[in-house]
Structure 1
Amino acid sequence: MSKVTVKIGGLLTTVQDAGRIGYQKYGITQAGVMDEESYCYANALVGNPQGSAVLEINYMGPDLLFEDDTMIAVTGADCELTINGNSVAINESHLVPAGGSLRFVRLKQGVRAYLAFGGDIDVPVVNGSKSTFIKGHIGGFEGRQIKPKDVFSLQALRPFKKRVLAAEFKPALAQEVTLRVVLGPQDDYFTEKGVETFFSDVGYTVTRYSDRMGYRLDGPAMEFKEGADIISDGTVMGSVQVPKDGKPILLLADRQTTGGYTKIGTVISADLPLVAQLAPNAHIRFTPISLEEAAKAGRTYREKLTRAQMYLA
């Protein structure tokens, strides 16, 4: 077992994995990583099994001190990193020597980065996951973000192997995106004009009232036939909820398990990694896609992740 000491915690750095699946019926949110694609690449770069826990880093990253030689990799947002003061690249595996430090100097593009260690982060498994849900004080490191002077352990450290993510797998970090949406389950609560507004070229802007729970968007209001209220039903990551002001909220990893406002549609899973890297003032347009097209896009997305894992094996 090897210890990692936190010198600087960063703005919001938490332990996350693939999420707490199967517990929404008990009112426990899924949590987990926001950018699944970057998360998968980070684990592949250090040779971890998929589903292993990583650190999700929001905007400003941590400064960490390592007790033993440790393999690391950072993916997702474009960050400036140093190991013992020397600049290193993201999307590659690196060795931090015993007694060495890893520092996140600054964020250049995107919002969220993923730090994987060649080994297992030693925190409790809660309902099948190590993911942190801060509002519920569940999982991760004591149910919270990491802070200065925290010390956590890594188990089963892996020997260093140099791996570099191929250019075809490097994520898009654009701040203007088009997201594909499957309509429903409450699209019939909107007038024809309301649906047209949602898919208009004007689009929506990500506001500062956005976090891991969801992105509140600003733009043209959608028109309802009668109102926005429904009998509360389940939510999924990517649900586009529309409250009575007619402006969408894109629900994400820490979303509520059920909601009492209409959901006009759902962003397909293949496009959610784009969402995770959007900062306030980013611009979103929505475009409709059929269930069959969404399933095909999902298969293509999964095949891409599998190809990357095989390439890095």
Structure 2
Amino acid sequence: MSVRPILRILEAHGGATLQDAGRHGAMRYGITPAGPMDPLAHATANRALGNPLGATAIEVGLGGLALTVEEAPLDIALAGGAFRIDCDGRPLPPAAALTLRPGMALRIRAGRAGAWCYLAVAGRLDVAPVLGSTATHTRSGLGGLDGRALRPGDGLAADEARARLGEPAALVAPWLDRSPEAIRVVLGPQDDYFAEPEIAAFLARDWTVSPKGDRMACFLDGTPLTHAKGHDIVSDGIAMGAIQVPGQGLPIILMADRQPTGGYPKIATVIGADLGRLAQAQGGTRLRFRAVSVAEAVAARRAEAAALEPAIALEPVIRTTFSSEFLLGRNLIDGVVG
């Protein structure tokens, strides 16, 4: 029987969970789908390894993560925001793939941009699904490892593991270079709760992403909107990307861990292809919204799917810098001459 690699968590500072494509089909029972905040980056990390696009991966937030592998080597891939990633002190691109060998330490830390990073493994993480999904929803304690975030000491075994990549390589995935400034939306379903000037103001104003956001919602700061027909509706279902406007007038965008229903009018909904761009916006980021048709939203989603159809090319990483951490960890003296 072959030895299974085990990913061992060395450091975890909150915000690191296991996520597959999400727990879909159960919202009518009040169960949140969860799943990745940036579905495109999550799918890209899996695609780079030949996995199903919705396979279970580790989602890492701004708190960062450090891990190693035990027992056997394992191919991994990383994709997401512009995080600072290094392996044994060697800097890696924010989108990369490599063979992680026993004893090697991989560190993922917040960088200049982006809020989420995804680490996929070549094979399948041995995690029991709950209601058909391994996606972690910490508020209800469903999925992942007992419904909680990863902790130091956790071990994640990989079945059907592969270790073929060797040295680090950069993923050729230009679709990950996304600016968050113009987020496309489809107006509604309750845009009739706002007068035309308020809808125009919603689209024309600059909004600032609040640092208090999390996996449940993105909060926006700016000039409040005014309702024309009150701020309460009969509660209805909430899609990921729905933009609610509560009584105080500042938009709230519901994300992966959203509640199943809500009773505030929704002025617009972020299109699927732009959900990751929004999710990757750190606190303080300024953005605007642009209204598009349903047809344009569908076309953008199809283009996103088409980008992931071919195998993702890999480019070797040429080492041009050597950190002090890397250099001090090696014996660089070949001999001493008197």
- The TM-score with structure 1 as length reference comes to 0.93
CA contact (8 A) 1:229 1:260 kept: yes
Structure 2 unmatched runs, 5+: 315-338
Q: Residue in 2 aligned with 1:153?
A: 157
Given the alignment of the two structures, is residue 216 of structure 1 paired with residue 219 of structure 2, yes or no? yes
Q: Residue in 2 aligned with 1:195?
A: 199
String of CA shifts for 1:43-71, please: whole Å, max 9, x gaps: 11222222110100001321112111011
1:106 CA displacement: 4.7
Q: Residue in 2 aligned with 1:110?
A: 114
Number of aligned residue pairs: give it.
308
Q: Residue in 2 aligned with 1:181?
A: 185
Distance in 2 of aligned mates of 1:284 and 1:261: 22
Moved more, 122-131 or 82-91: 82-91
The AA in structure 2 aligned to 1:166 is V
Distance in 1 of aligned mates of 2:229 and 2:266: 14
1:60 to 60, 63, 68: 63
CA contact (8 A) 2:172 2:312 kept: no
CA contact (8 A) 1:10 1:57 kept: no
Distance in 1 of aligned mates of 2:25 and 2:254: 18
CA contact (8 A) 2:48 2:312 kept: no
Secondary structure of the 1:294 match is helix
Given the alignment of the two structures, is residue 227 of structure 1 paired with residue 230 of structure 2, yes or no? yes
CA contact (8 A) 1:76 1:171 kept: no
Secondary structure of the 2:46 match is helix
Instruction: Name the CA shift for 1:241/1:150 in 2 (closer, same or farther; >3 Å).
Output: same
Q: Residue in 1 aligned with 2:324?
A: none
Secondary structure of the 1:136 match is coil
Instruction: Name the CA shift for 1:103/1:238 in 2 (closer, same or farther; >3 Å).
Output: same
String of CA shifts for 1:69-108, please: whole Å, max 9, x gaps: 0111111112222223333333221011123221225523
Given the alignment of the two structures, is residue 139 of structure 1 paired with residue 143 of structure 2, yes or no? yes
Q: Residue in 1 aligned with 2:240?
A: 237
1:171 to 177, 180, 183: 177
Q: Residue in 1 aligned with 2:320?
A: none
Given the alignment of the two structures, is residue 262 of structure 1 paired with residue 265 of structure 2, yes or no? yes
Instruction: Name the CA shift for 1:72/1:10 in 2 (closer, same or farther; >3 Å).
Output: farther
Distance in 2 of aligned mates of 1:147 and 1:245: 37
- Structure number with greater Rg is 2
1:164 CA displacement: 4.0
Q: Residue in 2 aligned with 1:94?
A: 98
Distance in 2 of aligned mates of 1:247 and 1:59: 24
Structure 1 unmatched runs, 5+: none
CA contact (8 A) 2:11 2:65 kept: yes
Q: CA RMSD in A?
A: 1.7
Q: Residue in 2 aligned with 1:284?
A: 287
1:42 to 45, 51, 66: 45
CA contact (8 A) 1:5 1:65 kept: yes
Q: Residue in 1 aligned with 2:308?
A: 305
- The TM-score with structure 2 as length reference comes to 0.86
1:207 CA displacement: 1.0
CA contact (8 A) 1:204 1:218 kept: yes
Secondary structure of the 2:218 match is strand
Q: Which has the higher strand share?
A: 1
1:303 CA displacement: 1.6
How much identity, in percent, do the aligned residues show?
37
